Amino acid sequence: MIQKAFRMKLFEGKEKDYEKRHNEIWPELVEELKSHGASKYLIFHDKETNYLFSYVEMENQELWDQISETEACKKWWAFMKDIMETNSDNSPISVELSNVFNLK
């Protein structure tokens, strides 16, 4: 099991759109995430900076990498590109975060 955390950024004024789209997340995208080993996926929003903090627990890195190649994921990225910072392939610009503390 791996734990990944990363941040992304919303465009100003798109917070409600982002939340609405995730409240109506496509079943085929959920299925892809689960079938590729995602057991927990959380996204938090910092209202002061418009950064999103994402945390996911996955079976392994290889399965995580495979998600980006699925049709459902590519369609989702295209659907989200108008409300957040993205790369040329529509994937969200994301910065991986390092784990510096873990309460056990």
Is the Cβ–Cβ distance between 92 and 42 less than 8 Å? no
User: Hey, which residues are catalytic here?
Assistant: 22
Residues 6+ apart with CB under 8 A from 97: 5, 6, 7, 53
